[in-house]
A and B are shown apart, each in its own frame.
Chain A
Amino acid sequence: MSVYKIRNRFLDIYDPYWICRILSLKIGTVTILMCLCNAFLKAPQGPMAYMLTVIICTAATEALPLASRSKKLGAYFLLMFLLSTSGMLFGLFSYFRVGLFLFIMIFTYLVMRFMAKNPKAAVVPSLMIIWGVMQMEGGGSTDLNAVANSYLYYAEFGMMGVITILFFPDFTPNIFKSALIRILESDMRGLGDRGFKNSHPAILSALFVIHSKLSFLPPQYEAFYQAIVQFQHDFFQSTSLTMEDQAAIKVVLSELIAAIDHDKTFSLTSECAQAIKKINRAAYQSISSLVDGYNLCKA
Chain B
Amino acid sequence: MQSVATLTRINQITILIGISFIFYELTNWEQGIWILISTVVVAGPFSTFLSYEKGKDRFLGTMVGLVVASLIEYYLRFNPSQLPVVAVLLAFIAGFMATRPYKYFIIMITVCTCMGYTYMNIPYTSFSPMSFLVDRGMGVFAGVLIFFLMQRFVFGNGNSRLELAEESLGALNKLQKILAEYQQHPNTVTAYQCAADIFEGTKDLKSYVDSAGLVFSKDLNKETRFARQVLVLNKRALKLLIDQPVVERSQIDRLLHVVTLKISRQ
| Residues of A participating in the B interface, judged by any CB pair closer than 8 Å | 14-15, 19-21, 23-28, 30-32, 35, 38, 42-43, 46-48, 51-52, 55, 59, 63, 97, 100-101, 104-105, 108-109, 112-113, 116-120, 122-123, 126, 129-130, 133-134, 136-137, 197-199, 201, 204-205, 207-208, 211, 225-226, 229-230, 232-233, 237
Contacts and interface: CB of A to CB of B under 8 A. Distances in A.
B99 A15 contact: yes
Give the most central of B44, B98, B192: most A CB within 10 Å. B192
A237 B31 CA distance: 62
B55 to A, nearest CB: 15
B18 A24 contact: no
Contacts of B189: 225-226, 229-230
B156 interface: no
Given A101-B25, A104-B17, 18 more contacts: A20-B99, A28-B95, A32-B88, A38-B121, A46-B118, A46-B121, A52-B117, A112-B13, A119-B50, A130-B40, A133-B37, A134-B33, A198-B195, A199-B239, A204-B196, A204-B200, A208-B200, A229-B188
Nearest to A136: B33
B21 A198 contact: no
The interface residues of chain A, by DSSP majority, are classed as helix
Contacts of B92: 24-25, 27-28
Give the most central of B31, B37, B91, B197: most A CB within 10 Å. B91
B69 interface: no
Given A109-B14, A130-B44, A207-B196, A35 B100 contact: no
B117 A51 contact: yes
A101 B200 CA distance: 40
B226 interface: no
A117 B2 contact: yes
A118 B98 CA distance: 21
Contact of A134 (B25, B37, B195, B245): B37
Contact of B96 (A15, A46, A207): A15
A38 B120 contact: yes
B22 A23 contact: no
Nearest to A30: B91
A271 B25 CA distance: 76
Interface of B: 1-3, 6-7, 9-11, 13-14, 17-18, 21-22, 25, 31, 33, 36-37, 40-41, 44-47, 50, 84, 87-88, 91-100, 112-113, 115-118, 120-122, 163, 188-189, 192-193, 195-197, 199-200, 204, 238-239, 242-243, 245
Given A43-B121, A101-B18, A101-B21, A211 B243 contact: no
Q: Which 3 A-B pairs have the closest CB atoms?
A: A24-B95, A126-B44, A31-B91
Nearest to B83: A35
Contacts of A63: 98
Give the most central of A32, A133, A137: most B CB within 10 Å. A133
B6 A126 contact: no
A31 B14 contact: no
A59 B98 contact: yes
A208 B243 contact: no
Contact of B18 (A20, A26, A104): A104
Contacts of B115: 48
B195 A19 contact: no
Give the most central of A116, A118, A134: most B CB within 10 Å. A118
Contact of B44 (A28, A42, A59, A122): A122
B98 A20 contact: yes
Nearest to B84: A35
Contact of A46 (B2, B117, B195, B242): B117
B99 A55 contact: no
A129 B40 contact: yes
A134 B33 CA distance: 8
B46 A201 contact: no
A114 B188 CA distance: 41
A133 B95 contact: no
A116 B7 CA distance: 10
11 contacts: A15-B99, A20-B96, A24-B96, A51-B87, A113-B2, A116-B2, A120-B204, A126-B45, A208-B196, A229-B189, A233-B188
A30 B92 CA distance: 10
A15 B98 CA distance: 10
Contact of B91 (A28, A48, A229, A232): A28
